[in-house]
Structure 1
């Protein structure tokens, strides 16, 4: 993309949180530990679902896909930030910035769609339990996932192509730790009316509408739960929804906080802090919320850990046996 005077630009500067050298190791350790926890937690969910045949249901199919998307989402931003801190550099190339915006939008919208699909899945499971496996068949599950990917990719592609049309002045400093689309548009010196219009329309279509769908699904779920005669049945139905509701409100509330703090205070620092909650903390907490509130996931994780322990013991036993056998053969040769 070109600057106002026609010079080709090649890079942006991500200012991050602080320029103080003494704070850099603390920031690096903080984000690196959260990144590792996010990766490990979501990988365990994926392994637990894939290894236990009892979890090969639509609910856990979407959950494992959500975990995979969360891994990709956090990997879009945090590794680059860690590299910049480690190398004491704030530079991100123009191509790298556009690429980061594309994948950030892609996986962010995918998260949004999957949470909506999971709400519909819970609605069918609780309100129409006898027809659940007929309605939520493998074909429909695959179709819902495919449509979510296609719509997210088209949206991310549209926003990235529109960002490519922007022109910039000589000030190319992004007061953030990631290349966020809103921050990049604010730096442009060309007309950004279409960019802002696309962002606001997409916020309504891709955030407000799915959130309204989630609220509608759970209003129906609550009505169905109230009609269940036994207290045990009510508790079982409610407990299957608590994990998903927790993730939904955590995702939407922190995402809303990013835009409200930016619009209300115009503070880049508060916006960056809110973005950390939205893009890092939420994704880190998702596996804990699902595993701690879900007996099936906890059971699968215990089985997985047990299998790993047995395999480790078997491998160690074989290794010790081989060492003992080698020593025995050497001893026999010496006696001969």
Structure 2
């Protein structure tokens, strides 16, 4: 596929942000070939990013870009420091429209990936800061954990139907289903039981009155430790009002590689700024245990990526189970001082 971002087009867009591009080149992501344009100038290096519509939402691309920019302005005005500096256009906006596609620019963060316990502690602090900062500045209610659970229950039902059909008709992935499908069913059955417990149901009702912004895509490539040691979270295209518990559970799954030290470090950093009571821990543990990768991998069984994802699941199955046991133990080992604080606040 030809690169759609010619030098002329890039220079025309960057000029709107007061930037004169000297050199530029595209960088691929896991999902897109030309995901980011790296722009070099006399003043430094910047990231020019096209904004793509979230197909799960019914709103237009421009509406989604406006909403994203509004959330980011709230965070910047509240002093949130864990994201790159966003550039403004000459008209003062955080984005511009070119050929019906929104674009935005940020500083380019050069650095390394998450490597040490200290990195994961800082990621935990960054997430907790995002969740607590935004909960005090929003004046709207948004989708909560309950909404996400409803979607995941639909995915679980579809997974079970595909599994039964594949086993009966000797379809592709039949062997994988026969070995691991029953374990996926056990994991989800246990999670649904925990999520239906009275204390968790009560927590989810209260959550609706405490809206917060979530990044919604915390993965290893989206977290960078800069050359001066500062942690940055990048790629804020999917920021939204949502469940902080889902955000944390997905971050644990997508960054720690099932490493016990990294898992505990991330949770430690998070609780330094936002302590979690036993019910919240139980909720996070239940969400972490859901086999979401299996649901996605089996959705399109004839695609090569599906086979690759199932192979990864097979290779990492034992570490996954051990990580789930670790988080279960963490759920039960809540410090006394947190219990006292929660009793006072209740």
TM-score by length of 1: 0.27
The structure whose residues are more often strand, as a share, is 2
TM-score by length of 2: 0.26
Q: Larger Rg: 1 or 2?
A: 1
The structure whose residues are more often helix, as a share, is 1
